[in-house]
Amino acid sequence: MKLSIKYQRLQDRLGYEFKTPALLQLALTHRSHGAHNNERLEFLGDSILNLVIGEALFKRFVDVREGQLSRLRSQLVKGETLAEIAREFELGECLILGEGEMKSGGHRRDSILADSVEALIGAIYTETDFDTCRTHVLSWYAARLSSLTVDTTAKDPKSRLQEHLQGLRKPLPEYEVVEAAGESHAQIFTIECRVVLLKQPVRAQASNRREAEKIAATEILRLLDIQ
């Protein structure tokens, strides 16, 4: 199977040439295109990414406590960061999407771009090994890791809420999407967040799920009077 020029150029940008070209295409195939898609590779890549970045932070910041390490890792593996990396690789032009996603600009959507980066990590691991995969992931993150300090990021509201509940030995927050309204390219997500310290769930709305969860967590922190 011979890849087109755009996929060959993508491999150059990734710094990795796939032994199995079909695996590269699978990693770039969104579920909107059909049942044969990148969701399983994304699941695998997400786990590998968290381990690789966690290990890198553990080795770099030898005197930093677990909570701050977790926040730093969260900053590096969150969807926005992965979408930035995808854009640096010009990944959008290589995505394989269903007709609806193509028309609605799915190749520019953060969540799809982020998932595809994780799927690429899973694909590289699938045909090589952990050490090879780690080498490439760290090369993609080299600039971000080198500029990182323990003060790079303040605690985001979801992390603050989670840490507060963990400190009290209480169950973690539960986030649930209760409504997704509007066209696929301009949806509004309504989520509910439940914590054992409040009788009623807190609702929040935003144009993406992650932002709605942050808004809900911020409101819960306010209600619990957590600074």
Residue of 12, 17, 39, 46 marked active site: 46
Please state, in angstroms and rounded to a whole number, the distance separating the CA atoms of residues 13 and 110.
19
Amino acid, res. 86: A
DSSP annotation of 155: P
Annotated binding residue at 118? Answer: yes
Residue of 101, 118, 156, 192 marked active site: 118
Closest CA to 176 of 162, 190, 197: 190
Cβ-contact 11, 18 below 8 angstroms: yes
Please state, in angstroms and rounded to a whole number, the distance separating the CA atoms of residues 191 and 201.
10
The CA-based angle 24-30-34, given to 5 degrees, is: 105
Helix (H, G, I), strand (E, B), or coil: what is residue 22?
Answer: helix
Sheet of 202-206: strands edge to edge? Answer: 174-181, 188-194, 202-206
Catalytic: 118?
yes
Q: Which residues contact 36 (CB under 8 A, 6 or more apart)?
A: 26, 29
Catalytic residues: 46, 118
Which residues contribute to the annotated binding site for Mg(2+)? 42, 115, 118
